[in-house]
Structure 1
Amino acid sequence: MTTPDTHLVPIGRSDLQVFPLALGGNVFGWTADRDASFAILDAFTDGGGDLVDTADGYSHWVPGHTGGESESVIGEWIARTRRRDDLVIATKVSTHPQFSGLAPENIRAAADASLARLGTDVIDVYYAHFDDESVPLEDTVAAFSGLVDAGKIRAIAVSNYSAERIDEWMAVTEANGFHAPVALQPHYNLVERDFEGALRERAERYELGVFPYFGLAKGFLTGKYRGGASVDSPRAGGAAEYLNARGDAVIEALDAVAAAHEVSLATIALAWLRLQPTVVAPIASVSRLEQLPDLLASATVALTPEELAALSAASA
């Protein structure tokens, strides 16, 4: 497969640069078994992709799973292919059943466990997955910064944090000379646009690279749930909430733009997200290899200002 002519995008103030689409690893070892996950990783990297987003908690909610399944699959792929240098690995701490929360000793133990599962000596981007207000923020921030000093992680990031708590994290960082976060992972897509207020302002203020999750609104923005189609995917139950007049308007707008470019709705939905201020790369996952080309195409399709405006207006 030929690598597309795509410019890499810097992650905030860090020295990391990535392809403008992130591959969600939440499905690895869950709805994508080991062989399917390996094929997806092969095709993603062959297509120019590099950033794989996972978490230590994926997929502890599945009967028989204990957490860490996704990281283990990625680690097995690295061991098989010896392509660690082709990946930028983002993982997270706070949701693994054995490493819950953000106490300092927990963060350090969870990072070591993630490194072991991934089979690598450094995590490129390490997220605080969910805020933990039971722990003094100074302790959490110090632990993350210490992992940078120890060479175990390259960059710090936060996910699912409020604007106010990001302010507090940055204040602690500045007061103590700690390493600052470089990235933010919020819920953001064409039908979920709360990010565009205070959180985007903080991303701009602190130069945080943004990696939106649920970029396809749990599958709704692919168009496959229109017209009363049943929502039966184990990952997509939440798509049903968008089956309303506003959702119909968004799908209609996506139809028009997708037809003009002769690509899928998913390609256009992710391209719109990629082109929003502060966004480095949307995160999207696939369980089947044949779904991946539509995602990769989103990194290179060029939308006009008029098309971007039409999509934004339909989802306002």
Structure 2
Amino acid sequence: MLRRRIGGPTGPLAGALSLGTLPFGTTVDEKTSFAILDRFVEAGGNLLDTANAYAFWVPGGTGDESEATIGRWLADRGVRDQVLISTKAGARPTVPGTGLETAEGLSGAVVTKAAEDSLRRLGTDHIDVYWSHLEDRTVPLEETVEAFDSLVRDGKATVLGCSNHATWRTERARAVARAGGMTPYTCVQQRYSYLQPRFDLSLPESAHVHVTPELLDYLRAESDLTLMAYSSLISGAYTRADKPLPEAYDHPGSARRLAVLGEVADELGATSNQVVLAWLMAGDPPVIPIVGVSSVEQLDEILGAAELRLPEELRARLDAAAPGQAD
């Protein structure tokens, strides 16, 4: 699998696709999770994305499950030096059975403890990419930035990232880090796919933030920033009739874009999912899609995207297909 440096020119080499592990240990059992992880690494993948909150909303879930499953797999397979672990802090509920209304947030004490807990569950001494999972505007940015920087200085984190942040907040946090001689965020993780949303509609999952044209412009100007995209396949909506488009994507522009996507997929002998991922990976700026699967068979389809190359004329057709929102 193609490798690229993440988090700037001195960052680690990551595969062009990231494996999202959100359901591991909850809706995907451990045996299947291990099989998916094995196949991903066998195919050359190395970037595993998780969080300390996955998946607390599943009945019986606590948020430990995904990290703990990865930790047991790492211990059993002995492959820690072959993979990059990407995990997050900030969204874990502090009251069992509740949601983001009791999220732990990003105070210095919380960030420090969350990292220690993640390291324990993962069974490792460092996190390759450590993220602030969502904004916490109740805490001064200086406090959060200092806490994340301390983790890097102590060797417990390598690269830092922010997820679900407004572009201005990302820039402000990076400015705080630069001014204080601290480690800045050099990765950004937002919701992004080929279909473009209506930005006047908020997502039902209020903490989720879409990639915006402003963010793309900012990323192009900042050579040390890497963009990773979650929900890149919109939970199966490109290929599954039982998965209708979420409201934010349900507008005339999407219908036209889907039609062109289907035509391009047919011409390439690929699936729509593979074309979407190839479009993201070869974009401007290039994107590392984070893709979750629940079976090895689904993973094999996704891995096919890593070998797919979009000719310029086909990419131009995809780009020109009504990228805007409702008319």
TM normalised by structure 2 equals 0.87
Structure-1 separation of matches of 2:20 and 2:256: 27
Paired residue for 1:24?
A: 20
2:319 aligned residue (297, 300, 312): 312
Structure-2 separation of matches of 1:164 and 1:28: 33
C-alpha displacement at 1:244, in angstroms?
5.2
Paired residue for 1:64?
A: 60
Paired residue for 1:234?
A: none
Q: Which runs of 5+ in 1 are unaligned?
A: 1-5, 232-236
C-alpha displacement at 1:241, in angstroms?
5.6
Paired residue for 1:197?
A: 213
Q: Say what the alpha-carbon RMSD is for the aligned residues.
A: 1.7
C-alpha displacement at 1:293, in angstroms?
1.3
Which residue identity lines up with residue 312 of structure 2 in the other structure? P
Post-superposition Cα deviations, 1:181-208, rounded to whole Å, max 9, x if no partner, equal 1110011111136635211122233321
Structure-1 separation of matches of 2:221 and 2:64: 34
Structure-2 separation of matches of 1:61 and 1:200: 31
Post-superposition Cα deviations, 1:26-60, rounded to whole Å, max 9, x if no partner, equal 12122211111111101011011000111100000
Matches within 5 A, 1:274-289: 274-289=281-296
Instruction: Tell me if the contact between 2:20 and 2:50 (Cα under 8 Å) persists in the aligned partners.
Output: yes
Instruction: Tell me if the contact between 2:11 and 2:159 (Cα under 8 Å) persists in the aligned partners.
Output: no
Paired residue for 1:45?
A: 41
Q: Which runs of 5+ in 2 are unaligned?
A: 95-102, 198-209
Post-superposition Cα deviations, 1:250-281, rounded to whole Å, max 9, x if no partner, equal 33222222122212111111111111122341
State the SS of the aligned residue for 1:18. Answer: strand
State the SS of the aligned residue for 2:229. Answer: coil
1:290 aligns with 2:294: no
TM normalised by structure 1 equals 0.90
2:119 aligned residue (111, 115, 133): 115
Which residue identity lines up with residue 220 of structure 2 in the other structure? E
Instruction: Tell me if the contact between 2:196 and 2:254 (Cα under 8 Å) persists in the aligned partners.
Output: no
Instruction: Tell me if the contact between 1:219 and 1:239 (Cα under 8 Å) persists in the aligned partners.
Output: no
Paired residue for 1:128?
A: 132
1:9 aligned residue (4, 15, 20): 4
Instruction: Tell me if the contact between 2:230 and 2:290 (Cα under 8 Å) persists in the aligned partners.
Output: yes
Matches within 5 A, 1:1-316: 6-13=1-8, 14-98=10-94, 100-192=104-196, 195-206=211-222, 207-221=224-238, 223-225=239-241, 230-231=242-243, 239=246, 242=249, 245-316=252-323
Mark the CA change 1:288 to 1:243 in structure 2 (over 3 Å): closer, same or farther: farther
C-alpha displacement at 1:209, in angstroms?
0.5
Structure-1 separation of matches of 2:72 and 2:196: 35
Structure-2 separation of matches of 1:70 and 1:268: 28
Post-superposition Cα deviations, 1:60-98, rounded to whole Å, max 9, x if no partner, equal 011111112100111011011111112111000011124
Structure-2 separation of matches of 1:67 and 1:45: 24
Q: How many equivalent pairs are there?
A: 301
C-alpha displacement at 1:308, in angstroms?
1.1
Instruction: Tell me if the contact between 1:123 and 1:154 (Cα under 8 Å) persists in the aligned partners.
Output: yes
Mark the CA change 1:168 to 1:241 in structure 2 (over 3 Å): closer, same or farther: closer
Structure-2 separation of matches of 1:146 and 1:154: 11
Which residue identity lines up with residue 20 of structure 1 in the other structure? A
Instruction: Tell me if the contact between 1:68 and 1:96 (Cα under 8 Å) persists in the aligned partners.
Output: no
Instruction: Tell me if the contact between 2:30 and 2:69 (Cα under 8 Å) persists in the aligned partners.
Output: yes
Structure-2 separation of matches of 1:107 and 1:271: 35
